[in-house]
């Protein structure tokens, strides 16, 4: 019987002419062929200077790429590398190719691109923990039946707010300033440039699955836009009774009354029976519904994040309480992070520098990524035995400092 030879992969930067080859790798790795309209939408935001390929005897067998993003963190906005287009041919799995790609990418981010954090969405969360990515945010899937869409009597209301329907692409210049304000309030949200703002309303017909084109409704007071909702409807009937579904892609508002008005709109559309939306775990909707249990909320992991530069990343955000602690960071995949770091700061800013002082808290890169946005507490990881401290007081102080006012969430996937 023949023996599988050792892998001799070479990792290098991709070339623009290799677009079709990268797409072919992902299509085979994920078991699906991307339609032309989806490829066109992705091509508009693809950054070839960040794309890497792994070659085996001249054939591209794996790839990974990234985006230059700006992400909200508690008290600030930081540059973030958005990891994407990651896949290896089924014939080349379990041979270290993905590890080579991940190591080269993180080294490039550290030495060439300079983002202090990297983040990704994944269909297989167990894969990326070994590369230092921790679950930094969660999302809640809700399915609200129309009959359960009533809001509490004292829900915010403002009769001066009116709703108007606008073509989604034409509405981008009106909606994006609202998004920019709201994004700074919630960790994990992206501050979108022009290309990403357009991508947020991309509507390839091949992905509609029988739904309507994407729609956009603005909440307006006078000449001021206060919020927007983007959604599509899927028509259906059950025994002659209309039973369509409203799929909310994104809802955003800068005033509670505007947000409530937009939710009322989608919860009471004619010819529909339910609204489906992915929202933050602390979204106001469940507090506004008279019967929140009927929304059948289901929570799952969302954004996975790792610190590429511990010192810069921890100094870039603010803290809910004053903190002065020495962290022992374990990070074999990005060894420049490994060691002791003194973090000191509060609500007005922070500093984080390498130190030789004894450690107060010890944790790995995965756990540091999980707590960075403030959605996972250090204390909960300590309870699981994943964080160690010089007594419970040190862990508790760090945990209180890292917490965020709002739960992390990323509305725009990449």
User: Based on C-alpha coordinates, what's the Rg of the chain?
Assistant: 23
Determine the Cα–Cα distance for residues 56 and 326; give it in Å rounded to an integer: 44
pLDDT value of residue 237: 87
The one-character DSSP state at 256 is H
* pTM score, whole prediction: 0.94
**β-strand partners of 120:** 304
| 118 sits in which H/E element | strand 117-120
**β-strand partners of 119:** 82, 305
Which CATH class name applies to 139-300?
A: alpha beta
Determine the Cα–Cα distance for residues 173 and 183; give it in Å rounded to an integer: 16
Residuewise pLDDT in 10s, the chain (414 residues): 455 555 568 999 999 999 999 999 999 999 988 999 999 999 999 999 999 999 998 899 999 999 999 999 999 999 999 999 999 999 998 889 999 999 999 999 999 999 999 999 998 888 999 999 999 999 999 999 999 999 999 999 999 999 999 999 999 999 999 999 999 999 999 999 999 999 999 999 999 999 999 999 999 999 999 999 999 999 998 888 888 999 999 999 999 999 999 999 999 999 999 999 999 999 999 999 999 999 999 999 999 999 999 999 999 999 999 999 999 999 999 999 999 999 999 999 999 999 999 999 999 999 999 999 999 999 999 999 999 999 899 999 999 999 999 999 999 999
Q: Centre a 10 Å sphere on the Cβ of residue 58 and count the other Cβ atoms it contains.
A: 6
**β-strand partners of 70:** 79
Nearest to 67 by CA among 218, 192, 154: 192
pLDDT value of residue 7: 59
User: Which tokens go with 112?
Assistant: 């060439």
Determine the Cα–Cα distance for residues 142 and 282; give it in Å rounded to an integer: 12
Classify residue 59 as left (phi > 0), alpha (psi -120 to 50) or beta: beta
**Nearby residues of 108 by Cβ (< 8 Å), 6 or more positions away:** 50, 52
Nearest to 362 by CA among 384, 389, 382: 389
| Helix residue ranges, H only, 191-233 | 194-199
Determine the Cα–Cα distance for residues 365 and 129; give it in Å rounded to an integer: 9
Specify the CATH number of the domain 308-402. 3.30.1050.10
User: Which tokens go with 199?
Assistant: 């991508």
Determine the Cα–Cα distance for residues 144 and 35; give it in Å rounded to an integer: 31
Nearest to 395 by CA among 352, 373, 363, 370: 363
Q: Are 164 and 43 in contact (CB under 8 A)?
A: no
In three-state secondary structure terms, 163 is: strand
159 burial level (CB within 10 Å; 0-12, 13-18, 19+): exposed
Side-chain-side CA neighbours of 279 within 13 Å: the count stands at 23
Q: Where are the beta strands (DSSP E) in 198-287?
A: 215-221, 224-234, 237-238, 241-242, 244-253, 272-280
Determine the Cα–Cα distance for residues 106 and 332; give it in Å rounded to an integer: 12
Residues 394, 396, 402, 407, Cα dihedral to 10°: 160
139-300 and 308-402 agree in CATH topology: no
Q: Where are the domains of the chain?
A: 10-115, 139-300, 308-402
Q: Are 19 and 25 in contact (CB under 8 A)?
A: no
**β-strand partners of 99:** none
User: Which tokens go with 53?
Assistant: 């390929």
Specify the CATH number of the domain 10-115. 3.40.630.30
């Amino acid at each position: 019987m023949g023996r599988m030879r050792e892998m001799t992969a070479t990792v290098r930067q991709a070339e623009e002419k290799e677009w079709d080859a990268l797409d072919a790798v992902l299509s085979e790795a994920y078991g699906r062929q991307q339609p032309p309209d989806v490829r066109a939408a992705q091509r508009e935001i693809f950054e070839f200077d960040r794309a890497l390929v792994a070659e085996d005897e001249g054939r591209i067998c794996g790839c990974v790429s990234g985006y230059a993003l700006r992400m909200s963190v508690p008290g600030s906005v930081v540059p973030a590398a958005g990891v994407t287009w990651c896949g290896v041919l089924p014939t080349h799995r379990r041979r270290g190719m993905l590890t080579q790609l991940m190591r080269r990418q993180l080294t490039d981010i550290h030495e060439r691109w300079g983002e202090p954090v990297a983040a990704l969405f994944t269909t297989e969360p167990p894969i990326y923990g070994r590369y230092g990515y921790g679950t930094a945010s969660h999302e809640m899937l809700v399915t609200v039946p129309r009959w359960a869409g009533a809001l509490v009597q004292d829900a915010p209301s403002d009769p001066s707010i009116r709703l108007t329907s606008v073509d989604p692409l034409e509405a981008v210049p009106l909606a994006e300033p609202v998004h920019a304000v709201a994004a700074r309030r919630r960790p994990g949200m992206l501050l979108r440039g022009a290309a990403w703002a357009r991508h947020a309303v991309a509507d390839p017909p091949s992905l509609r699955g029988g739904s309507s084109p994407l729609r956009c409704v603005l909440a307006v007071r006078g000449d001021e836009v206060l919020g927007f909702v983007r959604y599509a409807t899927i028509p259906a009937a059950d025994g002659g009774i209309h039973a369509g579904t409203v799929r909310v892609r994104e809802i955003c508002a800068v005033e509670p009354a505007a947000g409530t008005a937009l939710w009322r709109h989608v919860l009471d559309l004619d010819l529909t029976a339910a609204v489906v939306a992915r929202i933050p775990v602390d979204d106001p909707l469940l507090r506004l519904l008279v019967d929140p249990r009927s929304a059948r909320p289901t929570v799952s992991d969302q954004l996975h994040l790792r610190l590429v530069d511990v010192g810069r990343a921890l100094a870039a955000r603010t803290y809910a309480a004053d903190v002065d602690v020495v962290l022992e960071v374990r990070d074999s995949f990005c060894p420049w992070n490994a060691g002791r770091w003194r973090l000191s700061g509060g609500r007005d800013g922070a500093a984080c520098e390498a130190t030789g002082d004894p450690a107060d808290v010890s944790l790995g890169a995965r756990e540091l990524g999980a707590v960075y946005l403030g959605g996972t507490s250090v204390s909960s990881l300590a309870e699981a035995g994943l964080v160690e401290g010089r007594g419970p007081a040190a862990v508790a102080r760090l945990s209180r400092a890292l917490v965020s006012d709002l739960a992390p969430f990323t509305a725009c996937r990449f």
